[in-house]
Amino acid sequence: MAGLRVARCRLADAGFTLGDEAARDVALGVAIAAVWAALQFLVLIPVTGGAERADVVVNSEQIGTTLGGLGAFVLLAWGGGFAEEVFFRSHLMTSLRGILGTSRGARAATVLVPTLLFAMLHGYQGGWVGMLDTGAFGGLTLSLLFLWKGRLLPCVVAHAMWNTIASVVIFALYQAGGATG
């Protein structure tokens, strides 16, 4: 937020609002996370390797095998998700919009740059498959959501809920449940 102040960008212009739309923003964020989770766990993960998929393996190892580990991972994921939304959506997208303008090409670049950066910075989550998944959700989907709504809250909620759902499902299916497919 300090970077926004240095750039003389009002917090509201960067999407920091909790007005009349807050309840709808929360509901939208939850719905987006639920749809993404259903797509991931019912379709994409099972057909692309299941428990052996690189990002599932890495996340399973990070979560661990105890409820305490799961709880700690969820808290870490919430904090990290919030920080990523503040940086990638609020700061980076707002800055790019200010630099590039609002033409169609500028809007495309305003979505493309954070999507690619977000994906590349998540390579630790299973290499290319982790980058594709995080790029598709945390990059593209959340950048489009921010561009559409102009507010940070639905992005923060969607990110936090996806991180929570993914952590719990990976723990239940691939850790505690011992599923292999």
| Single-letter code of the amino acid located at 97 | R
Scan for tokens 């939850």, then name that residue: 30
Q: Can you list the residues of the chain whose pLDDT is less than 70? A: 1-11, 13-14, 176-181
Domain membership of residue 161 (yes or no) is yes
CB 77 within 8 A of CB 160: yes
Residue 96 within a domain:
yes
Compute the C-alpha angle 43/136/97, nearest 5°: 155
Total count of domains within the chain? 1
pTM of the model: 0.87
Q: What is the pLDDT of residue 126?
A: 79
Residue 6: the pLDDT is 59
Per the structure, the complete domain to which residue 77 belongs is given by: 19-43+71-176
Q: How far is CA 128 from CA 77, 131, 143, in A?
A: 20, 5, 20
